[in-house]
């Protein structure tokens, strides 16, 4: 990631925090990069590819679910690309 993009993303994260456009997440929150899904899982399958959620239903992620490690998370679009952002970093998805 180049300096201009990193600086712009840092500003974007700051703006999101100031506007309150963030969501505090529980311990059992996972994301699927390929499908740009972030959701709470009651449990994961043994293969880590199915997220079971009794309230919203089950979702499949063929490359596997990744645990959200930070307290604040937001999916945002910047220059036609989607990013999964926390206070510490943004990951392109």
Residue 41 to residue 29: CA distance in whole angstroms? 6
38 and 20 assigned to the same domain: no
- Do residues 34 and 63 make contact, with C-beta atoms less than 8 angstroms apart? yes
If asked whether residues 63 and 31 sit together in one domain, one would say yes
Domain count, the chain: 2
Residues 50-75 pLDDT 10s: 999 999 899 999 999 988 876 556 77
Please tell me which residue, 85 or 2, carries the higher pLDDT value: 85
Domain limits at 76?
Answer: 1-24+71-93
Q: Are residues 35 and 9 in the same domain?
A: no
**What tokens does 2 get?**
């180049």
Considering the domain architecture, whether residues 34 and 57 belong to the same structural domain is answered as: yes
Torsion of CA 44, 45, 47, 48, to 10 degrees: -20
In the predicted model, what is the mean pLDDT of residues 16-29?
53
Same domain flag for 36 and 63: yes
SS3 75: strand
pLDDT score of 27 more than 80: no
Rounded Cα gap, residues 77 and 84, in angstroms: 9
**Average pLDDT over the chain, rounded to whole?**
74
């Amino acid at each position: 990631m180049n300096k201009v993009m990193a600086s712009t993303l840092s500003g974007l994260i700051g703006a999101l925090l100031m506007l309150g456009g963030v969501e505090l997440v529980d311990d059992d929150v996972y994301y699927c990069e390929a499908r740009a899904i972030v959701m709470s899982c009651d449990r994961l399958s043994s293969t880590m590819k199915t997220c079971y959620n009794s309230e919203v239903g089950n979702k499949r992620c063929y490359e596997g679910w990744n645990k959200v490690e930070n307290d604040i998370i937001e999916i945002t679009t910047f220059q036609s690309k989607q990013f999964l952002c926390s206070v510490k970093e943004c990951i392109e998805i």
